[in-house]
Structure 1
């Protein structure tokens, strides 16, 4: 039993308490399109959050935590070395007078994903004008979410991990590694459901 006031032992890899370690659900995948996850601070230590599992599984994945980002640092993060490469934002098109989102942009080499609730993600867009300027990627006919431990307000709303994996499959093509990552995600969801059920007993 952990003494009052002391911290629970944590896994050195996933940084979660040992009793909630998510390392068994990590599924390595060598993604070609880099992922930049912009994580709202409220999501950073959320037990149900999926960004850390995604980061541990993908070869090319970074997480920046914040609500407002330094414009110069963000511009540098979004820059690409070649003119035929570009950063895209995974987000539904909601701008008036804007063109439709592309389904499979040929030049997307970096995908920016907002790890936040829908309300918080809209605020992050407003606070960071550079994100508003990015071309946007639309998911093609997304399936129902497998994220049973967190309530979605609309049927098409997915977890950060689900949305990111679907987007990578859309950009790079089907991959057994991505399907395996979704299986690992199912294990994570089941684990979290058991932990929350145990807390209620």
Structure 2
């Protein structure tokens, strides 16, 4: 059974398109944040799968002449890593072309498998988060204190990419509402940090 999260939604306009690639196992998690992220961002889409049709993915990434960047640490997989994306040093790209941010919604193990199964994703420039606060996620276990939910990671990336857009902070407000709602419904049997 899925809980209705409509009361948590904050519809937010942003210039960056977000493509969420969700592992099928995440669909089963009532505590997942990708669904709320998608509901908050009209410029977003969710694709569910592990290995995506390469031609279909290539067509999507070629649409609208956007700069595609993958929100993912640049040191997780040694082979296949291309340039890291830095909006401050990449003036030509960040000023003239809109960005499409690709977000993998999966556990770390699943995300590494998804990268291995989708060479096109491996070829994308990566945007690695730096200097972000600790997770606000109270209802799902993290294996390390610096691990964030998909919504939090995307929110912080968008805030860094679109630093002038103060509206993006409302994504965290929506996330706090989701946490509170889940706590009130008793979905807090998991400790946030694994011991």
Output the TM-score relative to the length of structure 2: 0.85
Q: Is the 8 A contact 1:80 1:87 kept in 2?
A: no
Give the Cα separation in 2 of the matches to 1:56 and 1:110. Answer: 17
Instruction: Report the alpha carbon displacement of residue 100 of structure 1 after superposing the two structures with TM.
Output: 5.9
CA distance in 2, matches of 1:181, 1:38: 19
3-state DSSP of counterpart to 1:53:
helix
Query: What are the superposed Cα offsets for residues 152-196 of structure 1, whole Å, 9 maximum, x if unpaired?
Result: 111211000000111111111143322122112101101112222
- Partner Cα distance (1:153, 1:182) in 2: 21
Structure 1 residues 42-101: Cα deviation after superposition (integer angstroms, max 9, x where no partner): 00131000111111111200000000101100111111433xx31000000124475662
Q: Call closer, same or farther: CA 1:167–1:197 in 2, change over 3 Å.
A: closer
Q: 1:172 aligns to what?
A: 162
Structure of greater relative contact order (alpha carbons < 8 Å, 6+ residues apart): 2
Aligned to 1:89: 70
Partner of 1:102: 85
Coordinate RMSD, CA, aligned: 2.0
Pick from 64, 72, 90 the counterpart of residue 47 of structure 2: 64
Tell me whether 1:133 sits opposite 2:133 in the alignment.
no
- Structure 1 residues without counterparts, runs of 5 or longer: 1-7, 9-15
Determine the structure 1 residue equivalent to 2:183: 193
Distance 1:24 1:73, change over 3 A: same
2:61 corresponds to which of 78, 100, 106 = 78
Partner of 1:119: 109
Q: Distance in 2 between matches of 1:176 and 1:81?
A: 25
Where 1:89 maps in the other structure, the secondary structure is: strand
Q: Please give the alpha-carbon distance, in whole angstroms, between the structure 2 residues aligned to 1:40 and 1:96.
A: 22
SS of match in other structure, 2:133 = coil
Instruction: Name stretches of at least 5 consecutive residues in structure 2 with no aligned partner.
Output: 190-195
Instruction: Note if 1:31 corresponds to 2:31.
Output: no
CA contact (8 A) 2:82 2:123 kept: no
Indicate the structure (1 or 2) with the bigger Cα radius of gyration.
Answer: 1
CA distance in 2, matches of 1:116, 1:78: 20
